[in-house]
Amino acid sequence: MGYTLCVLGCGTMGISVLSGVIASLDTQSRLLGLQKWESHTPGTVTPEETEPSVPARFIACVGHEGSALRLQKTFRSLGGRAEKIEVLHSKNIEAVQQSDVVLLCCKPQTAHVVLNEPGMQDALDGKLLISILAGVTISQLASWVHSTTKVIRAMPNTPCKIREGMTVVSTLPPSANEELERDIILKIFSSIGRCRFLEEKHFDACTALSGSGPAFACIFLEAMADGGVMMGLPRAEALELAAQTLQGAARMVLQSGSHPSQLKDAVTTPGGCTIAGLLALEDGRVRSTIARGIQVATERASELGQPKK
């Protein structure tokens, strides 16, 4: 029988992760021949009926009534399992008490308040707490909960919403439940994109590169489209060309394992237009500007959730 997953602070990222996980479960059910996830075709079962590492019940918590109403509407509009998500506001303790796994998705600066609410430590006793908060360390989080709560960090990104996410998860310390915990984590984050484990010391860099990355990529995408518009392309077509081109190039790197410079060289005809464009970009120090952006974002990530100096 599946477990109960609580998203504590279900804003932009909570919605991205939850709707991605739910879309993945709905897809699996459809592939199993279950037209409607709650009605059984004889001989088939929903994924969460057999596996303890698959979420079966979902609770989404927010801070305000208005957000709860908006969230309910959002989930209803998605259909499928999303319609069954229980949305609560100002009831964190009750929600965590009823859950097995808690995904902490509030702001870094409110983590301390959320986790120190009277009753929260007991509610989290013996449970898996997965924090996606930028900059808040495992040792900080562990100091706010009982030692029986298993604390890990994950850094997903907004494309999790369309199951094209990138999530980095902190390496799991050895424990009796390690296999089940790994399975639970992989079932969540591999169902919504790529997932890899890395030591916590890399988390600020991952936060900048893949957590903030969609924003950086969108700036580049928008600038490419602007160039097309400058040269007379209609805006909608320019955006489509830019987005599909970036997606295609990224997929080629991931699928072929080739170095990006090999793919770049393959496009660059001697004396052609690509080298002319590349040199103009290099004149604008495009590479160091982008790399420095990641450096500065990493440095800022390390300050988030930390006491002000």
Ligand X SMILES: NC(=O)C1=CN([C@@H]2O[C@H](COP(=O)(O)OP(=O)(O)OC[C@H]3O[C@@H](n4cnc5c(N)ncnc54)[C@H](OP(=O)(O)O)[C@@H]3O)[C@@H](O)[C@H]2O)C=CC1
Ligand Y SMILES: O=C(O)[C@@H]1CCC=N1
What residues line the site for ligand X (CB under 6 A)?
8-14, 61-64, 67, 92, 105-108, 110, 114, 132-134, 155-158, 211
Tokens of 302: 């390390």
Give the shortest CB-56-to-ligand X separation in angstroms.
Answer: 22
The answer to whether 293 is a known ligand-binding residue is: no
Closest approach of Cβ 134 to ligand X, in Å?
Answer: 3
Could you say which residues in the range 212-241 bind ligand Y, by CB under 6 A?
212
| Residue choice 8, 21, 134, 239 for contact with ligand Y (CB under 6 A) | 134
Task: Please state the closest distance from residue 247 (CB atom) to ligand X, in A.
Answer: 19
The smaller minimum CB distance to ligand X, of residues 69 and 267, is found at 69
Distance of closest approach, residue 71 Cβ to ligand X, in angstroms: 8
> In the complex with ligand X, which residue's Cβ is closer, 20 or 211?
211
Is the CB of 23 or the CB of 71 nearer to ligand X?
71
Residue 144 near residue 175 (C-beta atoms within 8 A): no
Residue 12, annotated as binding a ligand: yes
Interface positions, 187-216, toward ligand Y (CB under 6 A): 207, 211-212
Q: CB 252 → ligand X: shortest distance, Å? A: 25
- CB 95 to ligand X: min, Å: 9
Note whether 123 binds ligand Y by CB under 6 A.
Answer: no
Contact 108, 304 (CB under 8 A): yes
Residue 20 binds: one of ligand Y, ligand X, none (C-beta under 5 to 8 A by kind): none
Q: Which one, 147 or 308, has the nearer CB to ligand X?
A: 308
Q: At what angle do helices 235-256 and 213-230 cross, to 10 degrees?
A: 130
Q: Is 9 annotated as a binding residue?
A: yes
Tell me if 137 contacts ligand Y by CB under 6 A.
no
Q: How far is CA 67 from the centre of its chain?
A: 20
User: What residue 99 binds from ligand X, ligand Y, none (CB within 5 to 8 A, per partner kind)?
Assistant: none
**Beta carbon nearer to ligand Y, 191 or 210:** 210
Q: In what order do the strands lie in the sheet with 128-131?
A: 86-89, 55-62, 3-8, 101-104, 128-131, 150-155, 165-170, 193-198
Closer CB to ligand Y, 48 or 204, in the complex: 204
Q: How far is the CB of 133 from ligand X (least distance, A)?
A: 4
- Regarding beta strands 193-198 and 150-155, do their DSSP bridges make them parallel or antiparallel, or are they unpaired? unpaired
Contact flag: residue 156 with ligand Y (CB under 6 A)? no
Please identify, using beta-carbon distances, which residue of 134 and 238 lies nearer to ligand Y.
134
Binding positions: 8-13, 92
Binding positions for NADP(+): 8-13
Contacts with ligand Y, residue ranges (CB under 6 A): 134, 207, 211-212, 304
Binding positions for NADPH: 92
